[in-house]
């Protein structure tokens, strides 16, 4: 692609020589993988500064440098005021604006994003749409799965993936949009048609300076809705009206809003809610009519996730009856309230709760049905929000009969420091067992008929990162192995 075409969304830039006719073969943000004839965009990150790798990018064959700092080199350079934004815009241009060709739904909020993307994927698939999802567990394009490094990929990989979706005939893309991604501009250049907000509760205060900054990052999805380049398509924001920050998000967007909720009047509401051991049922009232929902998904938080998904599906033209059918037969999401069933007389659930609010939601749900005692095995991730650690431990102590505090992914931190952050303020009885497998073993070995064990924090993850090294670890598999051993020894 000719450079002047690549820069068509960037009206003002400085250049050190005539560059218009340079032919660009691709876009790169990493000097280690830049290819011959590519434009290398210098991104200032948290660890390194792309401007420091310009010479190496040139040695690798880059045809042009896009920078935001002045570079005095005898090589074609374009200088812009924000390379992060420029990267997103040229990536979108290079891949021919793929999000304009696909109905694109973005889901943001502290908890529920992965679940909602899966619920929506099931609904659209039931309607014979060809779908793609991008999120924490994986990326899936028309039935093919790909591993992911981030919940929301960087702008370049993202636009490349959208282009692949276009090639594979995808008509609907549903993706999680993390606050980090919004803050780092990974989704500039994405023309979202529907933006969904779940909730805002404490997390990521290692990255965002305050809850206000965290909210600001989330609000960008709504502020940017409809700021794409194709204004012909309708846009909608779907917002949890029960969230204390709903008003701020509603005012952040210039596009039509549909609210959902239970406690306050909203466009989409759930009433006659029945939460039971095998799932939930409720009457869903919407601007397009009412319908009864029955679903195997448990807990009030699942009702919120279903309302959010129903809202996004409805504004996308899906019929209420399809939504009803899809919720009834949902397979649920790996590692989200996933039961481990090995014929034991007590419940074992693996769940990805790794924030105070999600842990509280899940434990509350369990406490409503558990006939015996609740045991929770939980830790907190290293190199992440330290402030949530004591709060998560408080939640465990409040709802569980036995709290077993253990390691999650300590990453580069000392596990004992994390456990100390969680527990140093606590009074009362609890157990600290740093080894996660032993902690799970303890919870299971102590359990009797009618009890319930919650193994929280890692959900679908298949590794544990200790001291920067990833070891194989799958909560479900570990629990299954222990259960089959316990069963053997008890018979
Ligand atoms: C803190 C953070 O968010 N970091 C993200 C960021 O990396 P970074 O700022 O550290 O980048 P960097 O390593 O400093 O590099 C800066 C630039 O120099 C370039 N470089 C670097 C070295 C070199 O030799 N040559 C070179 O060109 C790099 O390619 C890059 O363009 O940009 C990268 C590309 O987009 C991300 O992969 C990376 O996510 C890291 C791995 C991460 O762990 N992020 C987490 C916190 C995160 O983003 N999580 C959210 C989900 C959170 C949730 O809601 O649960 C997510 O969306 O995944
Ligand atoms: N609507 C909700 N409100 C509160 N908690 C929820 C909600 N939905 C799910 N949860 C809890 O949060 C956990 C994570 O859910 P999910 O993976 O869907 O969220 P997420 O927003 O994608 O999280 P992440 O930011 O880590 O990707 C679940 O395992 C469950 O414990
Ligand atoms: N996307 C989240 C996942 C946290 C999962 C938990 N198991 C941990 O490692 O802290 C994060 O990176 O903060
Ligand atoms: Mg997720």
Q: ipTM score of the complex?
A: 0.96
- Chunked into runs of 10 residues, the chain (491 residues) has average pLDDT values of 90 88 95 96 96 97 96 95 94 95 96 97 98 98 97 97 98 97 94 96 82 91 81 90 97 96 98 94 98 96 97 98 98 96 95 96 94 97 95 98 98 97 95 98 96 98 96 98 80 53
The dihedrals phi and psi of 345, each to the nearest 5 degrees, come to: -85, 10
**Largest alpha-carbon pair distance within the chain?**
81
**Plot region of 247 (φ>0 → left; ψ -120 to 50 → alpha; else → beta):** alpha
178 CA → ligand 4 middle, Å: 8
Rounded CA separation 203/213 (Å): 12
* Residue nearest to ligand 2 atom 11, measured at CA: 358
Atom of ligand 3 nearest to the CA of 465: 9
Whether ligand 1 lies within 6 angstroms of the CB of 82 is answered as no
Residue 91 pLDDT: 96
* Residue nearest to ligand 2 atom 31, measured at CA: 353
Helix, strand, coil fractions of the chain, as percent rounded to 5: 35, 25, 45
**Residue to mutate, 43, 137, 457, ligand 1, most ligand atoms under 8 Å from C-beta:** 43
Tokens of 202: 């404490």
CB 346 within 8 A of CB 453: yes
Atom of ligand 3 nearest to the CA of 151: 1
Rounded CA separation 466/415 (Å): 8
- Non-local CB neighbours of 161 within 8 Å, separated by 6+ positions: 132, 134, 139, 141, 153
- The number of residues in the chain equals 491
Whether ligand 1 lies within 6 angstroms of the CB of 150 is answered as yes
Rounded CA separation 106/121 (Å): 12
SS3 290: strand
pTM of this structure: 0.95
Kindly give the residue spans of alpha helices, DSSP state H, lying in 432-471.
436-445
CB 126 within 8 A of CB 46: no
Give the CA-trace dihedral at 7, 11, 13, 16, to 10 degrees.
60
45 CA → ligand 1 middle, Å: 7
Question: Does 32 carry a binding-site annotation?
Answer: no
Three-state SS sequence of 108-150: ECCCCHHHHHHHHHHHHHHCCCCEEEECCCCEEECCEEECCCC
């Amino acid at each position: 692609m000719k450079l002047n075409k690549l820069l068509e969304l960037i009206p003002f830039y400085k250049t050190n020589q005539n560059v218009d006719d340079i032919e660009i073969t691709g876009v790169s943000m990493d000097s280690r993988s830049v290819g011959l004839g590519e434009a290398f965009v210098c991104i200032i990150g948290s660890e390194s500064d792309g401007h420091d790798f310009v010479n190496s990018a040139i040695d690798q064959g880059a045809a042009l440098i896009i920078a935001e700092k002045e570079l005095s080199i005898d090589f074609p350079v374009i200088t812009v005021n924000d390379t992060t934004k420029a990267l997103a815009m040229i990536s979108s241009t290079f891949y021919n604006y793929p999000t304009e060709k696909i109905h694109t739904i973005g889901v943001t909020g502290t908890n529920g994003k992965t679940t909602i993307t899966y619920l929506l994927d099931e609904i659209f698939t039931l309607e014979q749409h060809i779908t793609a999802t991008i999120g924490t567990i994986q990326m899936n394009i028309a039935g093919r799965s790909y591993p992911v490094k981030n919940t929301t990929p960087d702008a370049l990989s993202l636009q490349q993936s959208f282009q692949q979706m276009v090639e594979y005939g995808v008509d609907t893309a549903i993706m999680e949009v993390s606050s980090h991604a919004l803050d780092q501009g990974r989704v500039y250049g994405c023309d979202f048609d529907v933006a969904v907000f779940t909730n805002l509760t404490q997390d990521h205060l290692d990255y965002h300076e305050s809850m206000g900054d965290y909210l600001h990052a989330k609000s960008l999805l709504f502020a940017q809705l409809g700021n794409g380049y194709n204004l012909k398509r309708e846009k909608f924001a779907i917002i949890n009206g029960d969230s204390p920050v709903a008003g701020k998000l509603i005012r952040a967007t210039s596009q039509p809003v549909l609210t959902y909720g239970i406690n306050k009047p909203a466009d989409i509401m759930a009433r006659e809610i029945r939460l039971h051991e095998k799932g939930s049922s409720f009457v869903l009232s919407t601007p397009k009519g009412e319908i009864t929902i029955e679903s195997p998904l448990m807990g009030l938080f699942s009702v919120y996730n279903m309302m959010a998904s129903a809202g996004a599906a409805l504004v996308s033209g899906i019929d209420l009856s399809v939504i009803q059918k899809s919720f009834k037969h949902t397979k649920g999401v790996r590692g989200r309230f996933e039961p481990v069933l090995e014929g034991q007389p007590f419940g074992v659930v693996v769940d990805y709760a790794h924030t105070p609010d999600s842990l509280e939601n899940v434990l509350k749900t369990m406490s409503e049905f558990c006939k015996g005692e609740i045991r929770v095995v939980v830790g907190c991730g290293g190199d992440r929000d330290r402030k949530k650690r004591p709060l998560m431990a408080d939640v465990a102590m409040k709802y569980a009969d036995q709290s077993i505090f253990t390691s999650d992914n300590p990453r580069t931190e000392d596990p004992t420091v994390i456990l100390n952050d969680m527990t140093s303020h606590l009074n009362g009885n609890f157990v600290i067992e740093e080894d996660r497998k032993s902690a799970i073993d303890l919870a299971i070995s102590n359990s009797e008929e009618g009890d319930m064990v919650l193994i929280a924090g890692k959900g679908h993850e298949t590794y544990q990162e200790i001291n920067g090294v990833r070891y194989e670890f799958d909560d479900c598999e570990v629990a299954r192995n222990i259960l089959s051993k316990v069963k053997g020894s008890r018979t």
